[in-house]
């Protein structure tokens, strides 16, 4: 029959290449992930009794598509929004109604940050 040579001893798998691959994957996913602190937006939602505290003229801010902002139906620039609201308010704690129409979340966040930066504290978000 066939004469085969002496069987070779089985080699033990080398762990070094596997460890190298694991560390390369670890470094890749560490570099590919996002680092940084997620920003949060402190927002107080108006309850069912928010309408009872309303006084003065309407202050309805619509956030439309492409970041377009309008106050009571009149288009205003985001930088001029706080100034346009001042004549309509007796004090900074008067409620301002924010209504996101087709605007995205980033545009709504910019409007909220601009109003908060101007000292307006009572923002009511409605669907």
Task: Give, for all 127 residues of the chain, the pLDDT tens digit.
Answer: 677 888 888 888 888 899 999 999 999 998 888 777 677 766 666 555 545 566 667 788 888 887 788 888 888 888 888 888 888 888 777 778 888 887 688 888 888 888 888 888 788 888 7
Contact by Cβ (8 Å): 108, 100: yes
58-125 belongs to CATH 3.40.30.10: no
Query: What are the residue boundaries of the structural domains of the chain, listed by start?
Result: 58-125
- Alpha-carbon span 58 to 56, nearest angstrom: 7
pLDDT value at residue 27 = 93
pLDDT value at residue 116 = 86
- Alpha-carbon span 27 to 89, nearest angstrom: 55
- The pTM for the full model equals 0.59
pLDDT value at residue 1 = 64
Strands 74-76, 123-125: parallel, antiparallel or unpaired by DSSP?
A: unpaired
pLDDT value at residue 24 = 96
Tokens of 48: 């069912």
């Amino acid at each position: 029959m066939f004469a085969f040579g002496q069987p070779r001893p089985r080699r033990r798998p080398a762990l070094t290449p596997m460890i190298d691959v694991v560390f390369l994957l670890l470094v890749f996913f560490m570099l590919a992930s996002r680092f940084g602190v997620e920003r949060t937006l402190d927002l107080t939602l108006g309850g069912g009794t928010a309408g009872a505290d309303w006084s003065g003229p309407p202050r309805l801010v619509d956030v439309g598509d492409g970041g377009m902002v309008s106050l009571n139906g009149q288009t205003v620039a985001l930088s001029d929004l706080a100034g346009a609201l001042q004549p309509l308010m007796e004090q900074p704690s008067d409620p301002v109604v924010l209504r996101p129409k087709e605007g995205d979340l980033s545009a709504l966040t910019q409007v909220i940050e601009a109003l908060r930066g101007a000292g307006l504290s009572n923002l009511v978000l409605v669907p």
